[in-house]
Chains A and B, each alone.
Chain A
Amino acid sequence: MFALSLPFVGVLAQAGSGTTGAAVAQPDLWSARQQMALSLGWHIVLSCLGIGFASMVVFTEWLARRRDDEVMLALARRWSRALAVLFPVGAVSGTILSFEFGILWPGLMGTFGDVFGIPFAMEGFAFFIEAIFIGIYIYGWGRLAPKLHMLCGIPIIVSGILAAMFIIMANSWMNHPDGFTVDANGVVTVTDPWAAVTNSGVWIQFAHMLLAAFIVAGFLTAMVYTRPLLKGSKLRYHRLAFMIPFTMAAVCLPVQLFVGDLSVRWVGANQPIKEAAAEAHFPTESHAPEILFGFPQPDGTVKWGIVIPDGLSILTGGSPDTVVPGLDSVAPSDWPPLTVVHWAFDLMVVSGTFLLLPAAWFGFVWWRKRRLPKPRLFLWLGMAAGPLAVLCLEAGWVTTEVGRQPWIVYNTMLVTDAVTAAQGIRYGYYLLLVVYTGLTVATIYALRRLGQAPLPLSARPEDRPDPAGENIGDDDGDQVGEPGATSDDQTAAVPAP
């Protein structure tokens, strides 16, 4: 089969799009890239919630049942409802991506689909498992025995994490492709379909992504509850709802910064141009300065950057004498868009480091006093942490993806060779722009409506202050719910997310 079909594949590939180096006339390349960026950038936030938030719901349910804690259980129940909104939205936004791979980048898929498809096939099964158990988990709440119900939560966590790992395998393969040969005519033949899976770049990138998922999900969820806390809510429900996610994110953050550092080194060794673009580093030299922000110029200077002399050499090799490869090692036509990559990278690093502030503050106060920091400033920082974490996430992906330009498959296939030859692509982009705007508004609206639904009484036995409570005293005179009442149907008029 293999020997037989090879000549055909070669001929067909050339007739079609399956070779590297066959540039396509596509006036709308820009829209195609924007469309990809838009849908990926959208999906990634939802998928982080699908991993981090889902895990947190399951964890909270487990903790609540172990401690027999009604308030916590009500929280987990409420969160599971949010999951019922978020998961489908994440799933449809991911489906769009699979379509776009073919609609926008037929050259990539026609040529390399069989080379890096295996992780996607594995991912397909992970999605199945995740969707099945999410269905059981959300819809079986209160109907399945608690033990069985929690058991069904485990595959959600595992398959979410695996889904991220598999997709990272594919992405990491695009960054350092392997497992195929290219002949003189540019015809690609797969030699090892497992190369994408065993790709050495996977592990660091996966660790970085997974931590990001927990950080983003944690800070975003905690952000929601800073509002009632700032308004002075003394409900234990709100404190828990802030603390559980915030703790998760705060614990992951320092690890993330460490992994980020590994990432930089790895990229520096394997994709030196991406690294050089991220650092806006032009000449290959020792005593390379670290330049924060600023605007790289075509003549090889950086305007208005914050310069730390020798910084880059020290960061890279531990000594000012370390020679760091610069952009000058390849032709300018092989440079990615410098300003975008440089700013994206710096925004990730700076805002990621800034996030340490609320995280460390919280950690310190918790360690000494077992409570939340009192100053309102802390809550404001906690609120800002949500968007900042998303900024890190998006900026990180822009660094990775735009930093790979002009290659779609690093050093192998140009984006211009991969793009579709179809005309009028831009209208699809405009359409999706409108659709995604609507989807964003609708998702936020639905979540807010969910948040405004009254809390079950069981979540508000607030007249007894909990050990972590700062202020002792009555809230607003509510009656405690009936003992043992867990049903969501028993509601009272406290609006709460």
Chain B
Amino acid sequence: MTAARLVLALLWVAVTAYAVFGGADFGAGFWDLTAGGPRQGRARRALIDHSIGAVWETNHVWLIFVLVLVWTCFPIAFSSIMSTLYIPLTLVAVGIIFRGAGFAFRHTVSEVPSQRLFGAAFAVSSVLTPFFLGCVAGAVATGRVPVGNAVGDPISSWWNPTSLLGGTLAVAVCAFSSAVFLLHDAVRLDPGGDDPAPSDTGRAAREDIPLVTEHRDELVHDFRVRALATAVVTGVIAFAGIFILKADAPALFDGLTGPALPLVLLSAAGGVGTIVLIQRDHVSRARIAAVVAVAAVIWGWGVAQYPYLLEGSLTLEQAAAPTATLTAVAIVATLGLVLLVPSIILLYSLADRDLLEEAHVDE
């Protein structure tokens, strides 16, 4: 059991990392979608490019890692989920193609029409992908995925009140965390912001993103409003969701109001804290509060459902691969993390010092 719990915890860390970092990248796509026409939206889109350009692929790998961990450590859960939920998951896969390719191509082409086309692919799929992932989460959490090869209902398993709630909430959460992150990035553009003064290299690099720097105050204002608004909207959705869960998913509801209650409250506190901190212009700290709010939701869901991997039908113990495999995964993960953690820190710290910025080809 210990080995199974260990890999489950590892899995959940990866899910959380994907929800927080990958989620914010999807949220950036949401803000891209709503940034306005090519002219008004230019500065906002430049900020978005600047923020996620160098890091989104790394954040994306968390998803791959999650899939691999599930099929290696909990093969039956993997085959049951993937086969029953093949419709939303196929749409997720397509969404991932459009998002990644759209973003990459938008950088490369210079004509406005094709930029808009690729930009639209990026933005629309950034909204649809988390939505369907949220539906999948809802399906698993409500016990609509039975054990077996495509045994669950292909439609109603993921098209039901809880799944739709999950999808909507996922989009809202992504938009929220992304707005906070973008706000932070915009504020940071000014040496007088609440961050420590940037290094010389940092300042030099700024000159390469004139569009963003020029509109800095506007951008700060924009994303301040957006962060506050989505914090409220997300809170309202979550609150309304309580009633949906009570009616549609009693087991999950009991879990969330039982063992997982502290985490649910923590998440709410994180959300409120974000609002307060933004209003007091403590943007760095608001970012942390936002991360706490998102992470606590993920762990709240996990705790509420524990020990079931598939709610009501498959427990951790039944799903876990034999200890030999779990041990092997633990060994690989330990060695891997030793390499991964410093590399990720390097990436984020370079990005935070604005040392990673792609020049456009035709500039």
**Residues on A close to B: CB < 8 A?**
1-2, 4-6, 8-9, 12-13, 15-18, 24, 81, 84-85, 87-89, 91-96, 98-103, 106-107, 109-115, 117-118, 120-125, 127-129, 131-136, 138-140, 142-144, 155, 189-194, 420-425, 428, 431-432, 435, 439, 442-443, 445-447, 449-450, 453, 488-489, 491
Contact = CB atoms under 8 A, between A and B. Distances in A.
Nearest to B356: A139
Given A122-B332, A428-B86, A450-B361, A193 B325 contact: yes
Contact of B73 (A91, A114, A129, A431): A114
A191 B324 contact: yes
Contacts of A96: 93, 96-97
Contact of B61 (A8, A127, A193): A127
B51 to A, nearest CB: 12
- Among A87, A94, A101, the one with the most B-chain Cβ atoms within 10 Å of its Cβ is A101
A438 B61 CA distance: 24
B110 interface: yes
A98 B149 contact: no
Interface stretch (B185-193, B228-236, B288-296, B336-344): B336-344
Contacts of A95: 60, 63-64, 93, 96
B332 A24 contact: no
B350 interface: yes
Contacts of A18: 75-76, 79
B339 A98 contact: no
A432 B76 CA distance: 26
Contacts of A143: 201, 205, 355-357
Q: What bracket does the count of chain B residues touching chain A fall in?
A: 35 or more
- Among B71, B78, B92, B356, the one with the most A-chain Cβ atoms within 10 Å of its Cβ is B71
Given A98-B64, A421-B150, A449-B108, 15 more contacts: A2-B324, A13-B76, A99-B90, A109-B71, A114-B325, A124-B69, A127-B65, A129-B340, A135-B347, A136-B350, A189-B322, A435-B94, A435-B98, A446-B104, A450-B361
Nearest to A1: B1
Given A87-B57, A113-B75, A12 B321 contact: no
A101 B1 CA distance: 27
B118 to A, nearest CB: 7
Contact of A91 (B57, B109, B114, B339): B57
A92 B100 contact: yes
Interface string B300-330: 0000000000000010011011111100110
Nearest to B98: A435
B139 interface: no
Given A89-B104, A193-B325, A17 B73 contact: no
B241 interface: no
B68 A117 contact: yes
B108 A89 contact: no
B362 interface: yes
A170 to B, nearest CB: 10
Given A1-B323, A113-B79, A191-B324, A85 B93 contact: no
Contacts of B100: 88-89, 91-92
A102 B84 CA distance: 10
B108 A127 contact: no
B321 A132 contact: no
B65 to A, nearest CB: 4
8 contacts: A16-B147, A95-B93, A99-B82, A113-B79, A120-B72, A420-B83, A425-B86, A489-B359
B148 A15 contact: yes
Contacts of A2: 322-324
B325 A443 contact: no
Given A18-B76, A112-B75, A446-B109, A190 B65 contact: no
A118 B2 CA distance: 19
B324 A140 contact: no
Contacts of B205: 143
A128 B93 contact: no
B191 to A, nearest CB: 18
Contacts of B148: 15-17
A1 B320 contact: yes
B94 A432 contact: yes
Given A102-B81, A103-B82, A129-B343, A449 B109 contact: yes
B158 interface: no
B346 to A, nearest CB: 7
Interface string B99-141: 1110111011110001000100000000000000000000000
Contact of A99 (B55, B89, B104): B89
B147 to A, nearest CB: 5
B195 interface: no
Closest 4 CB pairs of A and B: A102-B82, A117-B72, A110-B79, A113-B75
Contacts of B355: 140, 143-144
A2 B318 CA distance: 10
A4 B84 CA distance: 27
